[in-house]
Structure 1
Amino acid sequence: MARPREFDEAEAVRRAGRTFWTHGYQATSIRDLEAATGLVAGSLYKAFGSKRELFLLCLEQYMKEESYLALLLKLFDTPFEEALRRIFDLIIDSASDRSQRPAGCLATNLVAELLNVDPELGDAAAAGLAEMHKALKFRLKWAVESGDIPAGRDVGVLASYLMVVIQGMLLLSTSTKDVEAMRAARDMAIKSLH
């Protein structure tokens, strides 16, 4: 009879995901994952198969729990402008060294790296970004129908614009950390809704 696992698998995946998010896929070593999860290499391989398989679990969990898409879906009953502002503010706050949340987005941070190293992993990360775009478009349609946003707006174009603003802010949050530029972009994007 197999022994039951003596660790919280979801928490181990969450901690490993934070490590990939912070350091990148290639730069994250098995030792880094051991330190993050408290598991030895043998236990990691037994539980998750490989670094690659663990990353896919991390990405899946991130998209369901911590991604900006997950936040947008959790804020479904919140007026769209307020939900969008919360997302922008979370991105801006993540640029701070005091933030509990790593800067950027796991999928955004790693998609370019992974497309060159492992196209299948890159495609998995890119799929999360495509889902965010679809969710923005859906939420914008809902916002127009509910009167949160004026009728007649091209929600496809607006969703694309907001996606580009979000991606730009995510890049700034991990690179220059230019909070003033991110705030200005947030304010302009909010104005574009009306």
Structure 2
Amino acid sequence: MYRRGGVADYHARMSETSVPVFRAAGTADIHAVVALVESAYRGDSGRRGWTTESDLLDGQRTDAAGVSALLGQPDSLVLLAERDGVLLACCHIERQGDAGYFGMFAVNPDLQMAGVGKALLAEAERVARDEWRCVAMRMTVIEQRAELIAWYERRGYQRTGEFRPFPYGDARFGIPLREDLRFEWMVKPLAGAVA
């Protein structure tokens, strides 16, 4: 059932072939980015999509200060995907030497599995490869997120077997609901990159 004028109604009217428009976020976008990230990962709204972390973490995923800090960093870009002025998805990429780092990836839960996330990931890889001359894209994924790891593997990312501890006690990363969380590094070579 679609609600008139809501995101679900918008999704029902979207052309399957229309491509999102990508742009860099600015300070005017901070609150919309925070709302999108929180809706994709936390609470009941996050449970509508398949990317929820609600069974692993509680509390916030990000806040306005955190997004503002990302916007102010050199070699850092918060990338937005929009269609008709509606924010569909976002991610953060950062140049770290000859590799890009991909994170804060969020797609509106009502629009997941519509190809928006795949398109945004491809655009982030393009920026890292063509504009920053990165030879690889790296990321960390919570090890317990098997379905998300599988999604990235289908897009060419490889598990490295290297892990980073979860920052227990740092509320900026959420409130853990388990004691065994850790991040696994994943990497993808960016074909055609020129160092």
> Could you state the TM-score of these two structures normalised by the residue count of structure 2?
0.30
Larger Rg computed on CA atoms? 1
Higher strand share: 2
TM-score (norm 1): 0.30
Structure number with the higher helix fraction is 1
